[in-house]
Amino acid sequence: MTPARDAIDLDVCGRHVRLSRPGKVLFPAAGFTKRDLVDYYLAAAPLILPHVAGRAVTLARFPDGVGASWWFQTNCPRGQPEWLRVAELRGTRGQRLRYCRIEEPAALAWAANLGAIELHPLLATVERPDAPLSVVFDLDPGPDIGMVACCRVAIAIRLLLARLGLKAVPKTSGSAGLHVLVPLDGSESFHRTHAFARAVAERLEADAPELVTSRLARAGREARVLVDWRQNSAGLSTVAPYSLRGRAWPRVSAPVTWSEIERAAETGSAGHLDVGPADALARAGRQGDLFGEALTCRQRLGARLLACSLVMSAQGGPAGGETSPGASLLSWARKPT
C-alpha cells in the first residue's frame, strides 16, 4: 500500500500532474489506493488510449472510494490543465456540454487523481458525433443467473451476426455481464444502429424467451439475461475496454476471446473471465490488445443487411423459428439511410 502523503508531483511524458493524497484507499476490500489507480492507468495507457482517443469521455468519479457517493462527470471539471483537450457537443436536450478528451497518458493520470475509476467514451467521434463506430449489446444477467448465461447469449448473438456477415468482439463489463461490440465504418446513423440492435435483441427473445429478455423491467428478469440495446443512441456511452469499474473489488472491463466465452458456456464455470488490473496487463502482455479488431474492422449494416435479411426470412429466421423477427430486420433494412 502506498504510504499516506499529502501530495506528490508526477512527470508524465513531460506533463506535470499533481497527485493529491496518493495513499487514499479507493477499494477498501483490496487496499487499492489512488496511487495504485494512477499506476494501473499509466501502465494500461497504450491499451486504453486508442479506444478513447477522438471521443468525448464521461468520467465516473468515486473521490471517496467505491463505498461512498459517486457520480458521472459529463462536463469537464473546472481547473483542468491547459493542455487537456475539451470537446464541446450538444446534449440530448440541446444543452452545451464540455466533455474531457482523454488522449494521452497524463490525461489518464489527471483523471485518476480526481477519483475517476471508470472511463465511458461515446460511441462516435467528436468530429462526427452522429456517426456511431459500433453497435453495442450489453448483456446483464438477472439476480438468479450469472456470467455463464451471458456467455451462452453472447454466442447466440455471434451466430446471428455471422448469418448477417458481421463480426463481433466481446469484453467483460467488469461487473456481472458481457459487452458484445459490432465494429462499424462510420457510415450508419444512430437511428439505424439503434433499430438494428433492438431487432436483434427481440429476435433473441423470441427464440429463447426463457433465457433472454429485451425489456428493462425488473419483473420477470430473475432467471434471464437482459440484452440491453438502448445504449445505441447519440449522447450515450459505454465503459471503455481496460477501464476499471467502481465495484467492491478492482475489476476491469476486459477484452476476452470467443474461445474463453465458449469454454465458460461448455463447462458452466466463468471464473477465468473475472479479470483484475494485474491480470489485464498480464493478458495484454501475452496476447496483445484482444479488442484491437474494434479499431481495425470496418463494417456496414446497409446493403449487406438487406441481402442477408432476405436469406434469413426465406430460411425462417436465424434460429429456424418464427419469421416475424426476421421480417422486422428486413423491414428495418428497407428504410432509407
Q: Dihedral sign for Cα 74, 122, 103, 245, please.
A: positive
- Find the mean pLDDT for residues 140-151: 92
What is the distance of C-alpha 31 from the center of its chain? 26
DSSP secondary structure string for all residues of 130-160: TS-SEEEEEEEE-TT--HHHHHHHHHHHHHH
Cα–Cα distance for residue pair 58/114, rounded to 1 Å: 13
CB neighbours of residue 95 within 10 Å: 10
- Find the mean pLDDT for residues 257-269: 96
Between 219-228, 244-253, 282-291, 320-329, the lowest mean confidence (pLDDT) is in: 320-329
Q: What is the pLDDT of residue 305?
A: 53
Q: Looking at the predicted structure, is the pLDDT value of residue 319 above 80?
A: no
Q: What is the pTM of this model?
A: 0.88
Give the pLDDT confidence of 88-104 residue by residue, as tens digits.
998 878 889 999 999 99
Cα–Cα distance for residue pair 323/314, rounded to 1 Å: 8
Cα–Cα distance for residue pair 18/56, rounded to 1 Å: 23
- Find the mean pLDDT for residues 189-218: 91
- Could you identify the residue written with the cell 475489476? 251
Closest CA to 167 of 186, 180, 152, 151: 180
CB 116 within 8 A of CB 61: yes
Q: What is the pLDDT of residue 220?
A: 66
- Find the mean pLDDT for residues 105-118: 98
Give the pLDDT confidence of 246-255 residue by residue, as tens digits.
999 999 999 9
Q: Looking at the predicted structure, is the pLDDT value of residue 4 above 60?
A: no
In the chain the first and final C-alpha atoms are separated, in Å, by 54
